Amino acid sequence: MHLLHDPNAPRADEIGFEDFLKVDIRVGTIVAAEEFPEARKPSLKLRIDFGPAIGIKRSCAQIAALYRPDALLGRQVAAVVNFPPRQIGPALSEVLTLGFADGEGRVVLFQPDQHVPDGARLF
């Protein structure tokens, strides 16, 4: 199991509040999702609407083990929106969609328990 997925891993190094503020985590609504068979791990390609300030961004997320593309449409998710884009095989991922590993290491999406405006920032 990867250290990031291990619930018994030691706590990460302490950071200052200023460091936390540098990570821009926003909520957005999935407006498109499709299979990503070229990925090494079971993944989907997402298009997520983060509202007018950020717009629609692409994400390659390793979530295909638990989620089907058609079931994700309209679902709100959280993502880091200020990492540089990353090439994942033939696709470009512009944001990092957030989730937690379940007991088998599959990614469970992180989402608010009530609807919030797209683009709202985590604090």
pLDDT at 101 over 60: yes
Is residue 118 a part of any domain in this protein?
no
Which of the two residues, 92 and 4, has the higher pLDDT score? 92
Averaged pLDDT, 10-29: 95
Return the pLDDT at 9.
84
Could you tell me the pLDDT band of residue 2, with boundaries at 50, 70 and 90?
A: low
Judge whether 123 lies within some domain. no
Domain count, the chain: 1
CB 65 within 8 A of CB 42: yes
For the residues 104-116, what does the mean pLDDT come to?
A: 95
Decide: 106 and 100 in contact? Cβ < 8 Å.
no
Whether the predicted pLDDT of 3 surpasses 60: no
What is the pLDDT confidence band of residue 4, given thresholds at 50, 70 and 90? low
**Within a domain: 120:** no
64 falls within a domain: yes
In a domain, 122, yes or no: no
Write the CATH number for 63.
Answer: 2.40.50.140
User: Which of 15, 27, 37 minimizes the C-alpha distance to 57?
Assistant: 27
**Across 5-9, 15-19, 72-76, least confident range:** 5-9
**CA distance linking residue 29 with residue 46, whole number of Å:** 10
121 occurs within a structural domain: no
Domain that holds residue 33: 3-109
Q: Is residue 78 part of a domain?
A: yes
* Residue 66 within a domain: yes
